């Protein structure tokens, strides 16, 4: 089997309507600027909700509009690297940090998170959302300028 994607999404005059299937091999998604590559990946990862369609990996449905299946991003086996640095806007600072260590035992994950909080001087911000902290935006952190 593999990954089956059949998605429809309309946003601001743009209409995405795709269907493809790949096996268990590396694949490349390419196209001109504005073709919907990033949107497609965000839909698969669960960061955007499709208007209709299916995202299925082998026998697991991650999204299916007919059965109303819509697993949250953290329950999907798909990663997404943003074009700019970003935080998940629906997760707190603490949750964003923990998200980066899915396979670690809970104690080690928590210890590392505390270390990162100290190292980056984020103490007191752990329960805040990106939109509530200085410089945090749902579209990402600004990169340092020249």
**What dihedral do alpha carbons 67, 78, 138, 91 form, nearest 10°?**
80
Assigned token pair, 31: 């196209």
How far is Cα 112 from Cα 6, in angstroms, rounded to an integer?
38
Q: What is the pLDDT of residue 140?
A: 41
Handedness of CA 88, 97, 78, 58 (dihedral sign): negative
For 118-127, the pLDDT digits (tens) are 988 889 999 9
| CB atoms inside a 10 Å sphere around CB 140 | 16
Nearest CA to 63 among 6, 108, 101? 6
84: confidence class by pLDDT, cuts 50, 70, 90:
low
- State pTM to two decimals: 0.60
How far is Cα 7 from Cα 64, in angstroms, rounded to an integer?
9
Q: Average pLDDT in the 8-13 region? A: 93
Q: Are 18 and 10 in contact (CB under 8 A)?
A: no
Q: Is the pLDDT of residue 142 over 60?
A: no
**In sequence order, what are the residues at sequence separation of 6 or more whose Cβ sits closer than 8 angstroms to the Cβ of residue 70?**
46, 49, 63
């Amino acid at each position: 089997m593999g990954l089956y994607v059949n998605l429809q999404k309309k946003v601001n005059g743009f209409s995405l309507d795709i269907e493809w299937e790949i096996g268990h091999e590396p694949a490349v998604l390419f196209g001109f600027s504005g073709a919907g590559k990033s949107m497609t990946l965000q839909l698969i990862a669960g960061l955007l909700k499709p208007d209709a369609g299916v995202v299925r990996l082998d026998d697991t449905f991650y999204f299916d509009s007919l059965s109303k299946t819509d697993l949250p991003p953290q329950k999907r086996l798909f990663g997404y690297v943003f074009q700019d640095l970003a935080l998940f806007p629906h997760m707190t600072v603490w949750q964003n940090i923990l998200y980066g260590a899915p396979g670690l035992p809970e104690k080690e994950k928590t210890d590392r998170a505390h270390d990162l909080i100290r190292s980056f001087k984020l103490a007191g911000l752990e329960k805040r959302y990106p939109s509530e902290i200085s410089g945090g935006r749902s579209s990402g952190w600004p990169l340092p300028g020249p």
